[in-house]
Chains A and B, each alone.
Chain A
Amino acid sequence: MDVFSDPANLQLYIDSFLMILKLTGASSLLALVLGLLLAACRVSPVPVLRAVGAGWVHLFRNTPLTLIILFCFFGLYSAVGVEFSDDIHVNNYWLAVTGLSAYTAAFVCEAIRSGINTVPLGQAEAARALGLTFAQNLRLIILPQAMRSVVAPLGSIVIALTKNATIAGVIGVAEASNAMKTLIEARGDQTIAIFAVFALTFVALLVPVGYGFSALANRLAVRR
C-alpha cells in the first residue's frame, strides 16, 4: 500500500477521481436536458421529430462508448475542427463530456419515455379536452408525473455514467483508469493493491448514490 504514501501518487489518485466527478457532473446535467428533449420528440405528434428522437436513441444506445469518445476526438475535433479551448486538457474534457452526454441522453430518453407510459392515458385525453396544447400537456400534466416515477432508473443511469466516465481516458483525460495505469506502470509490484484501491473507491462513491436515489424514488413516487 505504500504506493499511496508518496504525496505525488496520492495527488494523482485524488485528482483522477475529482476528474471523474467533474465528467459525471457536467455530463449528467447535459444528458438530462438532452434526454428530456429527445423524450419529448419521441412522443410528439410530429413524425419528423419522432424520427429524430428514435434515430438518436438507436444510434447512440447501440454504439460502443469507446468509439463515440474516439469519434469526438478524431472526428469532431481533428476532422471537423470543433475546438472548445486552446488548452488540450480543457478541450479533451469537453470532447469527452460531449460524447458521454450524447450517449447517456439516449438512455435518459428511454427511461423518461417509460415514465410517460405510466401516466394513465385518460389524463392526457382530459388535458387535451380542456384545450391544452401538446407542449402544455407535456409540461403541466405528463412530465411532472412521469419524472417522479423514473427517479430510480435515472439513478442507475447516473451510476453507469460515473463508471463510463473512465472511458474518457482513451482520449487522454486524466481520469481514474489512466491514473491507475500510471501507478501500475510505476509500481508493478503493487498491482493488486492499486487495483483494489481504485475499485473500492468507485464502490464507496456509488453505494451512497444508489441509496440516495432509492430514498428519493420512494419519497417522490406517485401513489396510485
Chain B
Amino acid sequence: MRMKRLAAVAAVAVLALGVAACGSESETPGTPSGESPLVGKATAGTLKFGVKADQPGLGLQTGSTYEGFDVEIAKIIAKGLGGDPAKNTYVTTVSANREPFIQSGQVDIVVATYTINDDRKKKVNFAGPYYTAGQDLLVKTDSTIAGPEGLEGKKVCSVAGSTPAKRIKEQFPKAQLQEFDAYSKCVEALNNGTVDAVTTDDIILAGYAAQSQFAGKFKVVGKPFSSEPYGIGLKLEDKAGCNKINDILKAAVADGSYKAAWDATLGKSGTPAPTLDVSKLSNCPA
C-alpha cells in the first residue's frame, strides 16, 4: 500500500520532470535504413517498458519486480526484437501518464492495459491488439447481480477518472458509483460489503478474483458490456517498430509462447487462454 503510493508519487514527479524536459530532447525517430530504433535498444539491453503496478495478473509490482500477463508480453517483445528479456527495465505507468511517457521517451513501449482508441492514436502508435477485454462486474460469490442491468440502486465501485467509471455514469445512471483512486480499495470495499460490485475490464477483475486472499469469495459476472482492445503503445513516428511488434505477436501465437504467457499469469484464475485473431493486428499506420 505504502509502496504503491510512493510509486505513484514518484511517477507524478517523473511526469512533471518529463513535461519540463520535453522539447529539449533530440530525437532520432527511425534510422535511415527504415529499421525501428527499438531494435538497437533491444540489442543494447536498454529497452524500457511502461507497465501497470497495481493490477494483479496483468502488471503487479512486488518490491522491485513486476509480474503479470503484460510483463510476459513485454518479455516476448524484447526477445523478438533480438534482446535479452532479463535486461528489460520496467517503469510504473498509470492511465493518465501513458501518452506523455511515450512521447517524452521515458519509456519505449507501453504494455499497460492500454485500450486502443482514436484519440490516443493521434498521440501514439498502437501495435496489437494482443487481447480484447470487456468491461464486466466483480461480485461476491453469493451475489444476485447478473449483469449491468442489475446494478439499479446498487453500489458499484471503480477508479476515479477511469473509462469504466465514466461508462457507468453515462449508461447506468441509476447505479450508485463509488470512486477510489485504486482498484485495490474497491476490492477491499467489496470484501467488507460496503459496495455490491466492482467494475472494470474483465481481465483485471479476473486477476483480483485469482488472488489467494480472495480465493472463492468473488466471481466475475461474465457479461461484458464493452470492447476494449488492448494495444502496445510506442512512438507515433515508429511505424517500422509497430509492424515488427505485430510480427512478433504473430510468431508468439504460432510457437505457443503467447499461450504460455497467459497460463503463467491470468490462466491461474481458471480462464482458458484466449485465441488471438492475428488478422486483427492491423492498427499500424500504412
Q: Which of B100, B163, B166, B188 contacts A74 (CB 8 A)?
A: B188
- Nearest CB in chain B to that of A86: its residue: B176
Q: Is the CB of A88 within 8 A of B155?
A: yes
- List which B176-220 residues lie within 8 A (CB) of chain A: 176-181, 185, 188-189, 192-194
Q: Is the CB of A170 within 8 A of B161?
A: no
Q: Is the CB of B161 within 8 A of A172?
A: no
- List which A7-61 residues lie within 8 A (CB) of chain B: none
0/1 string, B84-125, CB within 8 A of A gives 1: 000000000001101110000000000000000001101100
CB neighbours of A185 from chain B (8 A): 95-96, 161-163, 166
- Nearest CB in chain B to that of A179: its residue: B161
Is residue A92 within 8 Å, beta carbon to beta carbon, of the partner chain? yes
Q: Is the CB of B96 within 8 A of A181?
A: yes
Q: Which of B120, B185, B188, B193 contacts A188 (CB 8 A)?
A: B120
0/1 string, A163-185, CB within 8 A of B gives 1: 00000011110100010111111
Q: Is the CB of A189 within 8 A of B161?
A: no
Q: Is the CB of B194 within 8 A of A189?
A: no
In the bound complex, CA of A187 to CA of B176 (Å): 25
In the bound complex, CA of A215 to CA of B177 (Å): 43
Q: A74-B188, A181-B160 are in contact. Are A188 and B123 (CB under 8 A)?
A: yes
- List which A65-81 residues lie within 8 A (CB) of chain B: 70, 73-74, 77-79
In the bound complex, CA of A183 to CA of B178 (Å): 18
Q: A92-B178, A172-B180 are in contact. Are A188 and B98 (CB under 8 A)?
A: yes
Q: Is the CB of A191 within 8 A of B166?
A: no
Q: Is the CB of B119 within 8 A of A184?
A: no
Instruction: State the Cβ distance, A180 to closest chain B Cβ, in Å.
Output: 8
Q: A78-B194, A188-B120, A189-B122 are in contact. Are A178 and B179 (CB under 8 A)?
A: yes
Instruction: State the Cβ distance, A96 to closest chain B Cβ, in Å.
Output: 12
In the bound complex, CA of A53 to CA of B225 (Å): 53
Q: Is the CB of A188 within 8 A of B119?
A: yes
Q: Is the CB of B100 within 8 A of A191?
A: yes
Is residue A192 within 8 Å, beta carbon to beta carbon, of the partner chain? yes
In the bound complex, CA of A187 to CA of B120 (Å): 8
Is residue B264 within 8 Å, beta carbon to beta carbon, of the partner chain? no
Q: Which of A77, A171, A178, A191 contacts B161 (CB 8 A)?
A: A178
Instruction: State the Cβ distance, A91 to closest chain B Cβ, in Å.
Output: 9
Q: A170-B181, A188-B100 are in contact. Are A181 and B161 (CB under 8 A)?
A: yes
Q: A184-B96, A191-B100 are in contact. Are A88 and B178 (CB under 8 A)?
A: yes
Is residue B13 within 8 Å, beta carbon to beta carbon, of the partner chain? no
CB neighbours of B189 from chain A (8 A): 74, 78
CB neighbours of B120 from chain A (8 A): 188
In the bound complex, CA of A77 to CA of B178 (Å): 13
CB neighbours of B179 from chain A (8 A): 169, 172, 174, 178
CB neighbours of A6 from chain B (8 A): none
CB neighbours of B123 from chain A (8 A): 188-189
Instruction: State the Cβ distance, A65 to closest chain B Cβ, in Å.
Output: 13
CB neighbours of A92 from chain B (8 A): 178
- List which A95-130 residues lie within 8 A (CB) of chain B: none
0/1 string, A182-221, CB within 8 A of B gives 1: 1111111101100000000000000000000000000000
Q: Which of B160, B176, B192, B194 contacts A182 (CB 8 A)?
A: B160
Is residue A2 within 8 Å, beta carbon to beta carbon, of the partner chain? no
In the bound complex, CA of A188 to CA of B236 (Å): 14
Given contact pairs A188-B119, A192-B19, enumerate 20 new A-B contacts (beta carbons under 8 Å).
A78-B189, A78-B192, A78-B193, A79-B192, A88-B176, A89-B176, A169-B179, A170-B181, A171-B180, A172-B179, A178-B161, A178-B179, A183-B161, A185-B161, A186-B119, A188-B98, A188-B100, A188-B123, A189-B122, A191-B96
25 CB < 8 A contacts A-B: A70-B185, A74-B194, A78-B193, A79-B192, A92-B178, A169-B181, A170-B180, A171-B180, A172-B179, A180-B161, A181-B161, A182-B161, A182-B165, A182-B166, A184-B161, A185-B95, A185-B163, A186-B119, A186-B166, A187-B119, A188-B96, A188-B98, A189-B122, A191-B99, A191-B100
| Residues of B bordering A, CB below 8 Å | 19, 95-96, 98-100, 119-120, 122-123, 155, 160-163, 165-166, 176-181, 185, 188-189, 192-194
> Which 10 pairs from chain A and chain B are nearest by CB?
A181-B161, A172-B179, A182-B161, A88-B176, A188-B99, A178-B160, A78-B194, A184-B96, A185-B161, A172-B178
